Chains A and B, each alone.
Chain A
Amino acid sequence: MVNIIEMPEITSPTIANQPAPSPEPGVERAMIEIEDVDFSYGTHQVLHDVSLSVPARAVTAFIGPSGCGKTTLLRCLNRMNDLIDGAQITKGSIRIEGTDINASSVDVVDLRRRVGMVFQKSNPFPKSIYDNVAYGLRIAGVTKRSLIDEAVEKSLRSAALWEEVKDRLHVSGYGLSGGQQQRLCIARALAVEPEIVLMDEPCSALDPIATAKVEELIRQLKEQYTIVIVTHNMQQAGRCSDRTAFFYLGRLIEVDDTAKIFSNPGQRQTEEYITGRFG
């Protein structure tokens, strides 16, 4: 358990007043730029002054103790928080390739098609495997059977699921194991060919073998996609991410190349969290 009382003061002025890293050192081409974001659920402020750049075609990991706001920040990136009453960004902006995603001119449907998401809890639709993967295409108006067939196979292959399900594409997605379901959700997100894929603890319910498969997948995907992954597993962050951001109580404490964060973190809290002295 996290023992909050024993933690040292974190509101040291050096952190709170850190200037917005824009462009951040170490990021060549930023895909997503988060600038001074405050976020609240109703009156309950959850994110404080978060500024962060996410590099293109690389894997960025969000780490931090439970409840620190990782999921919240992730859901800001494809505006999933619009679905929650009273949830809103109260300050700052989020830009994807230079466009403010919260601007009124932005079509949220387009945004979500560009920014795919895999949820913390796997959530296939109560439909067949095929229909699950084809869903995004169908709602986008693709009707040609051959195109859909092709896309379904391609995405299932990229999610390393094709070999396991190719003979039973038309049985319910619920007939799959937990790990297969999670990969099915990944395939479903990939089918619409997003530019960015957000993954919220994609391996939290998986056994080590399935986890290894998903990690392998993430390493392959970054050739084509920009990936943001939330994880509680430090080894995982170390294995498959290029940059790591550490959050604590709604604040970004530190962000840097993964290798640097894990070998020589700049902040004491980061080090404590990573080495497990934290809880």
Chain B
Amino acid sequence: MEGVADLQTLIPPRTTSRRVQAAIEQGIKAFFGGNALVAIIVLALITIFLFREGFGFFGQNLTNLRLYRQAGLEYVDIIRDVSTQHEALSRKLSDIRLQEARAMEKRSVPVEEINATLAPFDQFASAFGDTAENLRTLVSDLTDQASALKESLYARAELAAQRAQLERSGALAAAEKIAVPAVDRATALATLHQGAATFESVSAEMTATLYTLLAQAPPLPDAAEQKTFDQWKTRTREYLAGLPKASENLRTWSAETPIPWYRSISSFLFGRDWVTASFWQDWYGIVPLLVGSILVSIVALFFAVPLGVASAIYVSEIASVHEKRFIKPYIEFISAIPSVVLGFFGIAVVGQFIRAASQSPWFKWISFFPISERLNIFTAGCLLALMAVPTIFTLAEDALRNVPRGFKEASYALGANRLQTIARVLVPASLSGIVSAILLGLGRVIGETMVVLLCAGNRIAIPDFSQGLGAIFQPVHTMTGIIAQEMGEVVRGSTHYRALFMVGLVLFTITLGINYLAQKLVARYRMSIG
């Protein structure tokens, strides 16, 4: 009992009353609870806002798609497509000529002789180009017609919307004043439809000319080029064989065929074009952006995962105390570099270096080298890898360090060496932790904006995978990049504005999914270690 008495003298007598004490406790509780509440509310508001702004997109996009058909733009694009294919064939011809000239140069044939040998080919090529003359004229005529119709339809819709708004707000007199002009769509479309007949005659003429031209195609001196040229001829024949199909499409096309509502969603999720602020037609297809983001992330993880995990293993298992003290803060320091500085470094140093390296004779054997673009998926991926390494390193090192000592000791005591212990005990025991570290690194990479905006090249196109690995040296645009670039310029509430929100939502969903997965893995890993 003596001991207890002693203890009591140690603790000073209570000076504040019970009430005050309770009030203070209540205050503290309210403070922390309030903060948590604010965080939750803010998150909820952000989510609601994203959804509200984003989902309006589908309605507007549907109108956009319907207008495309009603104004006959779709009709014109059928012919335009034929013309574009012709251009592609024409480009391929100049490609073949270039290859042939190079091959001859390699055989050290003098320039004059090259030109002389290829003169028939050049003639052929220009004759080929000329065959599309009428087609091009037709396309440009129809384009003007359809644009005018679209324009007037659009203006009418605007005015009608204004008027409806006024009527709704009760200003009937003002509403009366707005005259919604009538648009004679039927006549305009009928004129447009005459294009089908013109197209038929134009394509018949072109087919005839081309078949005779193909029969007279000059031979090429090199076998390899001759082979490509023959392939080209096959493609051209296929092209010509496809023309009746286009005519058929034109004849059966109708502006009144309804566009189902889901096209608005599918054209966003599976659309391969992202074209905005175009005089002709806007397309909001997320695929090129999604592919861009994914490719950049894959390249980034390709570098960041081995680097991050290996250095984590090194630091937690192999490094001496001294090395640890140096390496850990050093890697973690990377994350302190502002991303805009990294992006700047990427443009000025990494991109430049990669292009220079691709031009060096050492890499001649790589088919897609030298590369033409300094800023591309690879450049952005390298820099993003740098940003992901600290995340992966820190979390993986944590996971490895948390493996109970007993596992390690048991392994060594059984005569395992260090490598065996790492590979068979430490890594398996912390695997889910390491995987979740990688996932969080991925989340960081996908969500990163500044570096991709500066270094990915910002060309909105799906890379040409026919080059194989060369695809990763092509410029792309990404989901984050497009939002950052375009959000500042769009009109609030426009389809474009809402489309950007939808992109944001897709991004949000992806990162949320990744984080959820990572957290689940961490929980599992805690259990298995527990």
Closest to B414 in A: A136
Q: Are A123 and B414 in contact (CB under 8 A)?
A: no
Which of A85, A125, A138 is in CB contact (< 8 Å) with B410? A125
A231 interfacial contact with B, CB 8 Å: no
Residue numbers in A under 8 Å from B417 (CB-CB): 109, 139
Which of A83, A109, A121, A125 is in CB contact (< 8 Å) with B415? A109
Measured CA separation A124–B529 after assembly (Å): 11
Which of B406, B425, B528 is in CB contact (< 8 Å) with A121? B406
Q: Are B424 and A135 in contact (CB under 8 A)?
A: yes
Measured CA separation A121–B420 after assembly (Å): 22
Q: Are B528 and A123 in contact (CB under 8 A)?
A: no
Q: Are A188 and B410 in contact (CB under 8 A)?
A: yes
Which of B404, B414, B529 is in CB contact (< 8 Å) with A135? B414
Q: Which of B397-442 contact A (CB under 8 A)?
A: 404, 406-417, 420, 424-425, 428-429
Q: Beyond the given A110-B415, A135-B411, could you list 4 further A-B residue pairs with CB under 8 A, ordered by the A residue number?
A: A80-B413, A125-B425, A125-B429, A127-B428
Q: Which of A98-120 contact B (CB under 8 A)?
A: 109-110, 112-113, 116-117, 119
Residue numbers in B under 8 Å from A140 (CB-CB): 415
Q: Are A126 and B428 in contact (CB under 8 A)?
A: yes
A78 interfacial contact with B, CB 8 Å: yes
B173 interfacial contact with A, CB 8 Å: no
Which of B404, B409, B420, B528 is in CB contact (< 8 Å) with A139? B420
Count of B residues near A, CB < 8 Å? Answer: 21
Which of B404, B424, B529 is most buried by chain A, counting CB atoms within 10 A of its CB? B424
A192 interfacial contact with B, CB 8 Å: yes
Residue numbers in A under 8 Å from B425 (CB-CB): 125
Measured CA separation A31–B412 after assembly (Å): 22
Count of A residues near B, CB < 8 Å? Answer: 26
Known: A85-B321, A119-B406, A123-B406. A139 touches B414 (CB 8 A): yes
Residue numbers in B under 8 Å from A125 (CB-CB): 407, 410-411, 425, 429
A189 interfacial contact with B, CB 8 Å: yes
Residue ranges of A at the interface with B (Cβ–Cβ < 8 Å): 78, 80, 83, 85, 109-110, 112-113, 116-117, 119, 121, 123-127, 135-136, 138-140, 185, 188-189, 192
Q: List 23 A-B contacts (CB under 8 A).
A: A80-B413, A83-B409, A83-B412, A109-B417, A112-B412, A112-B413, A112-B415, A113-B415, A119-B406, A119-B410, A119-B413, A123-B404, A123-B406, A125-B425, A126-B407, A135-B414, A136-B414, A139-B415, A139-B416, A139-B420, A139-B424, A188-B414, A192-B414
- Least Cβ–Cβ distance between A1 and chain B, in angstroms: 15
- Least Cβ–Cβ distance between B290 and chain A, in angstroms: 38
Residue numbers in A under 8 Å from B321 (CB-CB): 85
Residue numbers in B under 8 Å from A126 (CB-CB): 407, 428-429, 528-529
- Least Cβ–Cβ distance between B119 and chain A, in angstroms: 71
Closest to B406 in A: A123
Q: Are B414 and A80 in contact (CB under 8 A)?
A: no
Residue numbers in B under 8 Å from A123 (CB-CB): 404, 406-407, 409-410
A-B interface, 9 closest residue pairs, ranked by CB to CB distance from nearest: A123-B406, A113-B415, A136-B414, A117-B413, A112-B415, A139-B416, A139-B420, A123-B410, A109-B415
Residue numbers in B under 8 Å from A121 (CB-CB): 406
- Least Cβ–Cβ distance between B447 and chain A, in angstroms: 33
Measured CA separation A124–B414 after assembly (Å): 12
- Least Cβ–Cβ distance between A106 and chain B, in angstroms: 13
Residue numbers in A under 8 Å from B407 (CB-CB): 123, 125-126
Residue numbers in A under 8 Å from B528 (CB-CB): 126
Which of B411, B414, B420, B428 is in CB contact (< 8 Å) with A113? B414
Residue numbers in B under 8 Å from A85 (CB-CB): 321
- Least Cβ–Cβ distance between B230 and chain A, in angstroms: 56
Measured CA separation A80–B529 after assembly (Å): 23
Residue numbers in A under 8 Å from B414 (CB-CB): 112-113, 116, 135-136, 139, 188-189, 192
Known: A126-B429, A135-B424, A139-B420. A80 touches B415 (CB 8 A): no
Residue numbers in B under 8 Å from A136 (CB-CB): 414-416
Residue numbers in A under 8 Å from B415 (CB-CB): 109-110, 112-113, 136, 139-140, 192
Residue numbers in A under 8 Å from B406 (CB-CB): 119, 121, 123
- Least Cβ–Cβ distance between A190 and chain B, in angstroms: 11
Measured CA separation A127–B410 after assembly (Å): 13
Measured CA separation A123–B404 after assembly (Å): 9
- Least Cβ–Cβ distance between A107 and chain B, in angstroms: 10
Measured CA separation A171–B415 after assembly (Å): 24
As a 0/1 sequence over residues 120 to 154 of chain B, the CB contacts with chain A under 8 angstroms (1 = contact) are 00000000000000000000000000000000000
Measured CA separation A121–B429 after assembly (Å): 18
Measured CA separation A112–B411 after assembly (Å): 10
Measured CA separation A140–B415 after assembly (Å): 8
